[in-house]
């Protein structure tokens, strides 16, 4: 799990969705927002899985945990000063960890957040 200092707070979600840029892959979406200020030395990440993905909280939490595990491997290669929210789509509940990792890497490259 990522430390709290690298996770996005819930109150920041509205700004990210209003002002951010969107990228899509088959099973995951990404919303990014460039930040400035005292917290801008690191990028922060969050994962979201709605009830449309699965009615079971166990499945949604598993997806989020896998997402955080995948981003933890890539966090040292990401650019600083960004907020990034990954949103799982309906079909994501059947993905393996490797597939989630590939989609997250693809979206980070597409959005040019990987250095």
pLDDT digits (tens, 9 = 90+) for 31-82: 999 988 776 788 999 999 999 999 999 999 999 999 999 999 999 999 999 9
Domain extent, residue 97, equals 4-110
115 domain-assigned: no
pLDDT of res. 39: 65
Beta strands in 6-98 (DSSP E): 21-24, 28-34, 44-48, 82-88
C-alpha distances in Å from residue 26, one per residue of 1, 14, 99, 104: 24, 24, 11, 11
d(CA 18, CA 48): 16
Residue 48: which CATH number?
A: 3.30.230.10
Residue with tokens 């990440």: 45
115 confidence band (pLDDT: 50, 70, 90):
confident
Question: What CA–CA distance (Å, rounded) separates 61 from 51?
Answer: 11
Mean pLDDT of 83-100: 95
In angstroms, the CA 1 to CA 113 distance is: 20
Give the chain's domain count: 1
The β-bridge relationship of strands 44-48 and 82-88 is parallel
């Amino acid at each position: 799990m990522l430390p709290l200092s690298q996770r996005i707070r819930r109150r920041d979600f509205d700004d990210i969705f209003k002002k951010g840029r969107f990228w899509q892959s088959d099973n995951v979406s990404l919303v990014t927002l460039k930040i400035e200020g005292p917290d801008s030395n690191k990028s922060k990440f969050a994962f979201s899985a709605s009830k449309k993905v699965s009615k079971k909280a166990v499945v949604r939490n598993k997806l989020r945990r896998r997402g955080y595990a995948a981003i933890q491997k890539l966090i040292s290669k990401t650019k600083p000063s960004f907020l990034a929210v990954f949103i799982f789509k309906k079909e994501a509940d059947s993905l393996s960890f490797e597939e989630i990792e590939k989609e997250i890497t693809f979206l980070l490259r597409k959005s040019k957040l990987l250095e």
